[in-house]
């Protein structure tokens, strides 16, 4: 399936004072929001010497058998792309349990280093090596608005496969191993970071001055894990549409999937999916003053649009121009919060609503075009999680699954995995800065879930939360794509803020969709959204203001 369904990116390193070390010399060129960069002299020899290096288990903050560098290759600069010379390091963090998968990682060490590092998060079930060579995955294809790859700007970058077995193993089957599941639940963030920082600090003779983590979806979960569990390790973190609740998301996806595919008449075919979307946009598009195909005032849309307006006469299915009563119930089940029979970690009792009546695309993640549901994103994730995570049985089945029969296991998984703890005291005291980005049309991680986490942060910290957290919501943006395909150089904004500069001020989002490429909107802080001022080019952010409930 399309890997954009669960995508993710980036984590980092820390550093003390400045001093000269043999083999390292500062240059005269200033790095962004920092001092002069550090240059590794005789980089070819230094890079080659890393091959075979062992990182002691005592240098890694969670149990391992240490880490080993398998290869280290000096890669020449590429003038055409602007990529600098760097040492490409591949290695493994050796699992503590010898039957568990090791964590494969890549670390990229630029010869001219800006004294900062970026750790990239994973995606989906993890398993693919995140190299850290490109623009973070949630940014999509590189563009000027998204910024250049961090490595090209002098950052040391790294990522891993999350310590998940790949190859012939079915997706999610790693969960039958306790350590592999713990790595997936967030421990790989710490193990990868500690091994990478030890190697990097040895190479440069010093630790990074700033350590950043960037991730989206599963990587967004890992970003919040970094803030909540390992806050002292990071100076800045970016979390795009964080999939921070494994059990809550999966149980709600499974509920929605069954509403559509396990009840006769509950499924909506492609024509009916489009019917719903078009009706929502027709009613709600103009609530922000701009007819641009984007529903910005989603809460206003909740009041303005009624799915009952699409009911077929008598409630029976009479064609693609209307909805049956059963199909309306399918939509309403997704457009309402899904409540659990018992609290999950950190007191979470519900998730949703999903944006099915707020302009989201109903296909791909939830509904397919064939009507059997097996090709959907929801089925791709729920079936393995039910069988391997919850039932812990490779021969198990997700048919007619009732999570209430597994309450103890579901609660234990929620405690192990979920990143819903509002206590980020250590991160805040350390001076850390957190940027969270969410889209209104995300059918995998609903805006309501991310709203709820930010609301818990606000309850804990009050108005001071904005001293170290900024939460932005982009209308029309989904899960790494959307009718407004968000492009924003969030790393540059974070680096300026965490480096002692100003917090983000009136950031501007750029649409990267080919048909509307270049149009801009103000990137508004929750709970605000962009409203058209009533005059001027609707493709220009300057002609919009952030409006809505509440004040910031």
Q: What is the pTM of this model?
A: 0.92
Domain boundary among 417, 441, 461: 417
Residues 282, 193 share a domain: no
Domain boundary among 417, 452, 486: 417
The pLDDT of residue 549: 63
* Distance of alpha carbon 240 from alpha carbon 450, whole angstroms: 10
The pLDDT of residue 251: 98
Residues 215, 159 share a domain: yes
Q: Is residue 68 part of a domain?
A: yes
Domain boundary among 417, 448, 479: 417
Residues 468, 393 share a domain: no
Residues 395, 288 share a domain: yes
Q: What is the CATH number of the domain that holds 79?
A: 3.40.50.1820
Residues 281, 222 share a domain: no
Residues 198, 325 share a domain: no
Quickly count helices (H) and strands (E) in the chain.
13, 21
Please tell me the number of Cα atoms within 13 Å of 422 on its side-chain side: 17
Q: Is residue 263 part of a domain?
A: yes
Residues 343, 376 share a domain: yes
Residues 347, 395 share a domain: yes
Q: Is residue 467 part of a domain?
A: yes
- From the list 442, 444, 433, 498, the residue with the least C-alpha distance to 473 is 442
The pLDDT of residue 34: 54
Residues 438, 396 share a domain: no
* Distance of alpha carbon 477 from alpha carbon 435, whole angstroms: 17
Under-70 pLDDT residues of the chain? 1-35, 137-145, 167-168, 549-552
Q: Is the dihedral of CA 237, 240, 241, 243 positive or negative?
A: negative
Distant-in-sequence, close-in-space partners of 532: CB < 8 Å, separation ≥ 6 = 288, 289, 290, 538, 543, 544
* Distance of alpha carbon 44 from alpha carbon 67, whole angstroms: 22
What is the domain range of residue 159? 3-244+419-501+508-547
Q: Is residue 552 part of a domain?
A: no
Residues 159, 298 share a domain: no
Q: Is residue 223 part of a domain?
A: yes
Q: Give the residue numbers marked as catalytic.
A: 217, 442, 479
Q: What share of the chain is helix, strand, coil (3-state, %, to 5)?
A: 35, 20, 45
pLDDT in tens, 267-282: 999 999 999 999 999 9
- From the list 271, 361, 357, 277, the residue with the least C-alpha distance to 317 is 271
Residues 197, 183 share a domain: yes
Residues 469, 381 share a domain: no
Q: Is residue 428 part of a domain?
A: yes
Burial 343-365 (b: 16+ CB within 10 A, else e): ebbbebebbbbbbbbbbbbbbbb
Let me know: does 537 contact 543? Beta carbons within 8 Å: yes
Total structural domains within the chain:
2
């Amino acid at each position: 399936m399309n890997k954009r369904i669960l995508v993710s990116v980036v984590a980092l390193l820390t550093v003390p004072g400045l001093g000269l070390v043999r083999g390292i010399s500062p240059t005269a060129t200033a790095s962004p929001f920092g001092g002069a960069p550090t240059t590794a002299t005789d980089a070819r020899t230094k890079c080659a010497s890393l091959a075979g290096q062992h990182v002691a288990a005592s240098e890694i903050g969670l149990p391992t058998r240490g880490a080993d560098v398998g290869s280290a290759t000096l890669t020449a600069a590429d003038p055409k792309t602007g990529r600098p010379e760097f040492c490409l390091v591949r290695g493994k963090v050796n699992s503590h349990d010898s039957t568990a998968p090791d964590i494969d990682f890549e670390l990229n060490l630029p010869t001219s280093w800006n004294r900062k590092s970026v750790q990239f998060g994973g995606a989906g079930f993890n398993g693919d090596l995140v190299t850290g060579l490109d623009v973070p995955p949630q940014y999509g294809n590189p563009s000027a608005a998204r910024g250049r790859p961090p490595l090209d700007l002098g950052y040391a970058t790294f990522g891993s496969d999350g310590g998940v077995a790949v190859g012939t193993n079915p997706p999610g089957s790693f969960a039958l191993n306790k350590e592999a599941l713990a790595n997936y639940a967030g421990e790989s963030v710490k193990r990868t970071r500690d091994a990478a920082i030890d190697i990097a600090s040895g190479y440069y003779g010093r630790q990074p001055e700033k350590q950043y983590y960037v991730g989206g979806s599963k990587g967004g979960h890992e970003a919040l894990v970094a803030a909540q569990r390992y806050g002292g390790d990071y100076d800045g973190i970016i979390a795009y549409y964080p999939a921070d609740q494994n059990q809550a998301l999966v149980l709600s996806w499974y509920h929605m999937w069954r509403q559509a595919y396990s009840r006769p008449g509950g499924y909506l075919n492609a024509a009916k999916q489009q019917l719903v979307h078009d009706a929502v946009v027709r009613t709600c598009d103009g609530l922000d003053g701009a007819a641009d195909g984007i529903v910005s005032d989603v809460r206003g849309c909740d009041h303005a649009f009624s799915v009952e307006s699409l009911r077929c006469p008598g409630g029976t299915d009479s064609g693609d121009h209307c909805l049956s009563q059963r199909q309306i119930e399918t939509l309403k089940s997704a457009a309402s919060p899904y409540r659990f029979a018992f609290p999950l970690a950190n007191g979470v009792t519900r998730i949703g609503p999903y944006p099915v009546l707020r302009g989201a695309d109903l296909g791909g993640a939830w509904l397919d075009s064939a009507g059997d549901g097996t090709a959907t994103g929801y089925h791709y994730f729920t079936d393995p999680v039910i069988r391997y995570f919850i039932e812990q049985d490779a021969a198990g089945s997700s048919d007619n699954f009732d999570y209430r029969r597994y309450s103890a296991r579901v609660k234990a998984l929620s405690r192990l995995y979920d990143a819903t703890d509002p206590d980020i005291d250590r991160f805040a005291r350390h001076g850390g800065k957190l940027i969270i980005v969410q889209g209104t049309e995300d059918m995998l991680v609903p805006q309501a879930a991310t709203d709820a986490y930010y609301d818990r942060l606000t309850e804990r910290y009050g108005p001071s939360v904005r001293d170290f957290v900024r939460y932005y919501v982009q209308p029309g943006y989904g899960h790494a794509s959307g009718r407004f395909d968000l492009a924003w150089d969030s790393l540059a904004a974070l680096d300026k803020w965490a480096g002692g500069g100003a917090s983000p001020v009136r950031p501007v989002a750029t649409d990267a969709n080919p048909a509307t490429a270049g149009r801009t909107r103000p990137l508004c802080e929750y709970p605000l959204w962009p409203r058209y001022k009533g005059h001027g080019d609707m493709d220009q952010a300057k002609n919009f203001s952030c409006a809505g409930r509440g004040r910031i």
